[in-house]
């Protein structure tokens, strides 16, 4: 049984899509965490001020 494994080096389009997916996931995670951080800081400041 021969299995053919396609590596990103064989197909530049696959490696480009993979890189875009990884960048998107990293950016999305960073923005989500950043948004949560800003929200928590705002909530803490609001709680301390009252």
d(CA 44, CA 28): 24
Q: What is the pLDDT of residue 5?
A: 65
d(CA 32, CA 45): 20
For residues 15 and 1, which has the higher predicted lDDT (pLDDT)? Answer: 15
Q: What is the pLDDT of residue 8?
A: 59
pLDDT at 2 over 70: no
Q: Summarize pLDDT for 4-47 with one digit per residue, the tens.
A: 666 656 666 667 888 888 888 888 888 787 877 888 888 888 88
DSSP string, 16-48: HHHHHHHHHHHHHHHHHHHHHHHHHHHHHHHHH
SS3 2: coil
Q: What is the pLDDT of residue 9?
A: 63
Q: What is the pLDDT of residue 32?
A: 81
């Amino acid at each position: 049984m021969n299995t053919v494994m396609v590596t990103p080096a064989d197909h530049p389009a696959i490696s480009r899509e993979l890189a875009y997916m990884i960048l998107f996931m990293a950016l999305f995670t960073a923005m989500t965490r950043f948004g949560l951080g800003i929200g928590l800081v705002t909530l803490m400041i609001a709680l301390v001020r009252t």
